[in-house]
């Protein structure tokens, strides 16, 4: 199993290096003041520092369920399991389905692929287009595995968004064959124009929908969740208990207080979407001007621009880029078994505006060298 290239690269670069590599939110957009106020309330009560229940503090589960209900996806607190980031959610689910066969998109999120490998899941990949995976191929694969892992909204790494039709088709296949869809949705709130209904909302009993506060509020809180049918939540809770007893109580209480004011959360999300959309435009314009050979689709949300430098081995190129003090993630990292790729994933949310042009010019210099 390979270590995450992204984590390795983040550890090795110095402060002069411009990084388009990590999937990091913009720190300037964290709602620090509101989170600080919420934290102060947490420390008023010593009980908040005590051990707590494994499936998550009841009022936070209730509030997360409320977010689903607001969108018309009927959900009770008993449908929610709080996890230590959605990464732990993926681990718990993979443990539950260990040694099963599973459909994954290609390219896909390396953190999930590694978790599936570690738990003996046999992955069968289906190529991902910018509007989702082809429905016929999904149906063929799913009829065999009865388990699939998809990231329909602003996928990591591809930035792709499933069309309504592909969502409906995927849901249809799941209902036809039974089994489960694992829908990973950490970027769903980061849409630039409008939110698409989740596939899970079409198949509430046959889905495990993963959410997270990492991309919307702060990854350091390490709070995510799984939405699934009640029976499944009970089974997954047994696995979670063996891992960490419960997710950080302090983080959960902070979020619980923070979400008391839903209007401020909504206002924060709207500001975040606006700011990321503006950053995306700056980034894609700078790409067109400074890295002319790069072919890509303009993303409709999320944190990444994905595309290709035709004929270029982007893994080899990134080694030269490191010397020029700029990094990105070469896409061979996101495929199950592909040593060569001419594709790149760029993160556009983290870098400051003045570094974008400079960073892309450094890549262009390495490319032309």
Ligand X SMILES: Cc1ncc(COP(=O)(O)O)c(C=O)c1O
From residue 38, alpha-carbon distances to 170, 252, 254 in Å are 40, 11, 5
* Minimum CB distance to ligand X, residue 324 (Å): 26
Among candidates 64, 32, 24, 345, which has minimal Cα distance to 225?
Answer: 64
Binding to ligand X by residue 38, rule CB under 6 A? no
Residue closest to ligand X, measured at CB: 85
86 binds ligand X (CB under 6 A): yes
Q: Which is nearer to ligand X, 31 or 219 (CB)?
A: 219
Query: What region does 154 belong to: left with phi over 0, alpha with psi -120 to 50, or beta?
Result: left
Measured between alpha carbons, how far is residue 115 from residues 38, 155, 221 in Å?
A: 33, 17, 21
Choose which of 31, 56, 159, 224 interacts with ligand X (CB under 6 A). 224
* Smallest separation, CB 123 to ligand X (Å): 15
DSSP class of residue 74?
-
From candidates 25, 31, 159, 186, binder to ligand X by CB under 6 A? 186
Q: Does 109 sit near ligand X (CB under 6 A)?
A: yes
Is residue 256 within 8 A of residue 58, CB to CB? The reply is no
CB of 56 to ligand X, least distance (A): 14
Is residue 23 part of the contact set for ligand X (CB under 6 A)? Answer: yes
With respect to ligand X, which residue has the nearer C-beta, 21 or 286? 21
Look up tokens 């008023």; give the residue.
44
* Site for ligand X, residues 121 to 160, rule: CB under 6 A: 151, 156
Does position 341 bind ligand X by CB under 6 A? no
Q: Single out the segment in contact with ligand X by CB under 6 A; choices: 11-19, 60-68, 84-92, 333-341.
A: 84-92
Count other Cβ atoms within 10 Å, centred on residue 74: 11
What is the Cα–Cα distance from 189 to 153, expressed in whole angstroms? 9
| Interaction of residue 299 with ligand X, rule CB under 6 A | no
Residue choice 173, 214, 251, 347 for contact with ligand X (CB under 6 A): 214
- The Cα 64–Cα 28 span in angstroms is 25
Within 13 A of 366's CA, how many CA atoms are on the CB side? 24
CB of 146 to ligand X, least distance (A): 22
CA distances from 309 to 32, 128, 331 (A): 39, 18, 11
Give the interface segment with ligand X, choosing from 71-79, 82-90, 344-352, 355-363 (CB under 6 A).
82-90
Helix (H) or strand (E) holding 166: helix 164-177
Rounded to the nearest whole angstrom, what is the least distance from the CB of residue 104 to ligand X in the complex?
11
Specify the DSSP element, H or E, that contains 183. Answer: strand 180-184
Considering beta carbons, is residue 23 or 107 the nearer one to ligand X? Answer: 23
Which of 219, 249, 307, 330 binds ligand X (CB under 6 A)? It is 219
Q: If binding is defined by CB under 6 A, does position 301 make contact with ligand X?
A: no
Q: Of how many residues is the chain composed? A: 369
How many beta carbons lie within 10 A of that of residue 152, not counting itself? Answer: 26
What are 211's strand-pairing partners? 225
Size of the site for ligand X (CB under 6 A): 14
Which residue's CB is nearer to ligand X, number 4 or number 39?
4
Here's the x/- map for ligand X, 243-282, by CB under 6 A: it reads as ----------------------------------------
| Residue 238: Cβ within 10 Å count | 11
| Identified binder of ligand X from the candidate list 188, 212, 252, 332, rule CB under 6 A | 212
Where along the sequence are the contacts to ligand X (CB under 6 A)? 23, 85-87, 109, 111, 151, 156, 184, 186, 212, 214, 219, 224
């Amino acid at each position: 199993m390979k270590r995450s290239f992204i984590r390795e690269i983040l550890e090795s670069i110095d402060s002069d290096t411009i990084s388009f590599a990590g999937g990091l939110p913009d720190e300037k957009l964290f709602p620090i003041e509101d989170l600080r106020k919420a934290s102060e309330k947490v420390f008023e009560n010593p009980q908040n520092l005590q051990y707590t229940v494994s499936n998550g503090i009841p009022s936070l589960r209730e509030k997360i369920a409320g977010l689903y209900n607001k969108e018309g996806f009927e959900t009770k607190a008993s449908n929610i399991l709080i996890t230590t980031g959605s990464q732990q959610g993926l681990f718990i689910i993979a443990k539950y389905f260990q040694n099963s066969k599973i459909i994954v998109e290609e390219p896909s999120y390396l953190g999930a692929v590694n978790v599936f490998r570690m738990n003996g899941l046999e992955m069968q990949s289906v190529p991902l287009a910018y509007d989702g995976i082809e429905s016929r191929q999904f149906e063929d694969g799913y009829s065999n595995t009865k388990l699939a892992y998809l990231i329909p909204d602003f996928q990591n790494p591809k930035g792709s968004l499933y069309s309504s039709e592909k969502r409906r088709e995927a849901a249809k296949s799941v209902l036809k064959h039974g089994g489960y869809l694992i829908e990973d949705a950490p970027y769903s709130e980061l849409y630039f124009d409008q939110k698409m209904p989740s596939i899970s909302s079409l198949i509430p009993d046959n889905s495990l929908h993963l959410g997270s506060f990492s991309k919307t509020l702060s990854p350091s809180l390490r709070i995510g969740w799984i939405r699934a049918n009640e029976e499944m939540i009970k089974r997954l809770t047994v696995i979670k208990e063996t891992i960490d007893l419960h997710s950080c109580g302090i983080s959960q209480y902070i979020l619980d207080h923070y979400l008391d004011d839903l209007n401020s959360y909504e206002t924060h999300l709207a500001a975040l979407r606006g700011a990321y959309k503006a950053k995306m435009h700056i980034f894609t314009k700078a790409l067109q001007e400074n890295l002319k050979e790069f072919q890509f689709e303009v993303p409709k949300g999320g944190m990444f621009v994905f595309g290709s430098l035709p004929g270029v081995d982007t893994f080899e190129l990134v080694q030269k880029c490191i010397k020029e003090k700029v990094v990105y993630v070469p896409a061979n990292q996101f495929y199950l078994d592909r040593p060569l790729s001419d594709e790149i994933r760029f993160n556009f949310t983290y870098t400051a505006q003045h570094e974008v042009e400079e960073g892309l010019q450094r890549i262009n210099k390495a490319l032309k060298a």
